[in-house]
């Protein structure tokens, strides 16, 4: 029987300083019941938090300041001060400053996750346009975290209860999608997906569906050759080590509710997977980066500049991201615990001896 897991330290990034991220953090952790499940460490500055605290005056949000992980309080929200600067905050505006400090928060939190100072990370939304620089040349959180951890591949996985959709390609133009659909890419993503379903979601024998790239999954090669030449051979290769079926025509697959028969679906590109996911998911969706040594989740929405600073942001998806992060950490711990003391392998000789001893007991002297 495994011991009760300790409350994990969960790092939280601010996202774009002019987006809804900090408002979501304040709304989420004003519910003190979350502190019974985790210890939040927000990578920000007191000044930024105080600015947004004024925009949600009805919410009682308390925190303690920290600059050292050894002095983190397990009884309240911790603000880990990554900067002391006076920062110009203009809710709803896309500014260089909003992006630059989002990156400061993210880089500090990612290092903490990599160095195991925190057990999990929940990232508030950033904007692709104002985070780009020579120091941060990434299209989003997923490729950046892949870089930080130095892993060969990761998988962007959207999850809501038992509905999960992974992507072969993420934030790339449609004109480039087909060139990135390779046998190696599909097999790699399927491998990460299978491992994640087992270790992170507790599914012993995952069943995975793969979508086609073209309409009608290529119609036997009449509408594009990718299914015949790339996707089917990749599925055939993956079948040696997992239960995977497809390729399915994406429209018919979701129209018939086929996703309910599988533990996860692998889509070829962003909108093919995310439009049905966001339309059909029951409950709040969470974006999870599968394949990392650390656990990272985020809400399934963007910076929402149009409502930033107006006390209109709905924290449901952010709260779901916190719960998902905690659940995955606990599930991973349980998976490891269950494999620490495996039963000794029973060889035919051991089995034969055991049977002989049982016969002797039964027959008596």
Task: Based on the fold, state whether residues 31 and 97 are members of the same structural domain.
Answer: yes
Q: Nearest to residue 167, comparing CAs of 273, 260, 284, 242?
A: 273
What is the DSSP annotation of 224-269?
-SHIIIIIHHHHHHHTTTSEEEEEEPHHHHHHTTGGGGSSEEEESS
User: Which helix or strand (DSSP H or E) is residue 44 part of?
Assistant: strand 39-44
SS3 sequence of 131-158:
HCCCCCCCCCHHHHHHHHHCCCCCEEEE
Same domain assignment for residues 167 and 311: no
Dihedral angle of Cα 298, 303, 307, 308, to the nearest 10 degrees:
90
Domain boundary among 260, 287, 314: 287
Domain match, 81 and 28 both: yes
Q: How far apart are CA 43 and CA 45, in angstroms?
A: 7
Looking at the fold, whether 42 and 183 belong to one and the same domain comes out as: no
DSSP 6: P
DSSP state of 217: G
Distances in Å between the Cα of 187 and the Cα atoms of 140, 153, 190, 263, 280 are 23, 11, 5, 17, 26
Query: Are 189 and 200 in a shared domain?
Result: yes
Pairing of strands 120-122, 163-167: unpaired
25: its two tokens: 């953090």
From residue 229, give the alpha-carbon distance in Å to each of 168, 188, 269: 16, 17, 18
What whole-number distance in Å separates Cα of residue 213 and Cα of residue 181? Answer: 8
How far apart CA 331 and CA 125 sit, in angstroms, is 25
Predicted pLDDT at 218: 78
The total of structural domains in the chain comes to: 2
Domain match, 69 and 162 both: no
pLDDT at position 151, please?
Answer: 96
**What's the predicted TM-score (pTM) here?**
0.89
Please tell me whether residues 10 and 139 are part of one structural domain. yes
Query: Pairing state of beta strands 295-299 and 120-122?
Result: parallel
What's residue 5's pLDDT?
47
Range of the domain at 1: 1-151+292-365
Residues 307 and 325 in one domain: yes
What digits encode the pLDDT tens for the residues 216-273? Answer: 987 888 888 999 999 999 999 999 999 999 999 999 999 999 999 999 999 999 999 9
Half-sphere exposure (Cβ direction) of 30: Cα atoms closer than 13 Å:
15
Task: Give the helix/strand (H/E) hosting 286.
Answer: strand 286-290
Q: Looking at the structure, tell me whether residues 95 and 178 fall in a common domain.
A: no
Final residue of a domain: which of 287, 307, 323?
287
> Among 287, 313, 316, 315, which residue's Cα sits nearest to residue 121?
287
Same domain, 334 and 185: no
pLDDT of residue 348: 58
Of the candidates 259, 287, 315, which is a domain's last residue? Answer: 287
pLDDT at 357: 56
**CATH number, domain at 207?**
3.40.718.10
Q: Which residues of 320-348 are buried (b: 16+ CB within 10 A; e: fewer)?
A: bbbbbbbbbbbbbbeeeeeeeeeeeeeee
Residue 220 and residue 125: Cα distance in Å, rounded?
40
Kindly tell me the number of DSSP H helices and DSSP E strands found in the chain.
13, 12
Question: Is the domain of 158 the same as that of 197?
Answer: yes
Please list the rounded mean pLDDT of every run of 10 residues in the chain (365 residues).
66 96 95 93 96 90 90 92 92 93 96 96 94 88 94 96 95 95 98 98 97 90 92 97 97 96 98 95 91 96 92 94 97 89 55 56 50
Same domain for 72 and 29, yes or no, is: yes
Q: Note the pLDDT tens digit of each residue in 300-310.
A: 888 999 999 99
């Amino acid at each position: 029987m495994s011991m009760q897991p300790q409350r994990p330290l969960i790092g939280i990034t601010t996202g774009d300083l002019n987006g809804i991220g900090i408002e979501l953090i304040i709304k989420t952790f004003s519910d003190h019941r979350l502190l019974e499940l985790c210890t939040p460490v927000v990578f920000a500055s007191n000044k930024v938090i105080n600015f947004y605290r004024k925009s949600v005056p009805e919410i009682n949000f308390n925190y303690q300041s920290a600059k050292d992980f050894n002095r983190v309080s397990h009884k309240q929200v911790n603000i880990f001060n990554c900067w002391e600067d006076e920062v110009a905050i203009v809710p709803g505006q896309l500014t260089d400053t909003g992006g630059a400090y989002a990156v400061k928060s993210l880089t500090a939190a990612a290092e903490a996750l990599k160095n195991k100072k925190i057990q999990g990370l929940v990232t508030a939304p950033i904007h692709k346009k104002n985070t780009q620089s020579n120091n941060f040349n990434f299209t989003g959180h997923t490729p950046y975290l892949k870089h930080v951890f130095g892993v060969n591949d990761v998988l962007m996985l959207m999850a809501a209860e038992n509905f999960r959709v992974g992507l072969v390609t993420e934030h790339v133009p449609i004109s480039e999608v087909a060139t990135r659909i390779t046998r190696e890419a599909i097999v790699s993503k399927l491998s990460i997906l299978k491992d994640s379903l087992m270790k992170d979601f507790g599914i012993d024998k995952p069943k995975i569906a793969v979508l086609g790239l073209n309409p009608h999954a290529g119609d036997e090669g009449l509408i594009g050759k990718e299914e015949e030449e790339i996707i089917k051979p990749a599925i055939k290769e993956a079948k040696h080590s997992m239960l995977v079926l497809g390729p399915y025509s994406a429209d018919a697959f979701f129209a018939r509710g086929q996703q309910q028969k599988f533990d996860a679906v692998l889509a070829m590109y962003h909108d093919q997977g995310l439009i049905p996911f966001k339309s059909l998911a029951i409950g709040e969706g969470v974006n999870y980066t599968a394949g990392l040594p650390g656990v990272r989740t985020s809400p399934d929405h963007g910076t929402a500049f149009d409502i930033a600073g107006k006390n209109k942001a709905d924290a449901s998806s952010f709260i779901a991201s916190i719960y998902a992060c905690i659940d995955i950490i606990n599930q991973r711990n349980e998976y490891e615990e269950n494999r620490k003391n495996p039963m000794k392998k029973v060889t035919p000789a051991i089995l034969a001896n055991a049977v002989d001893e049982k016969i002797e007991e039964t027959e008596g002297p």
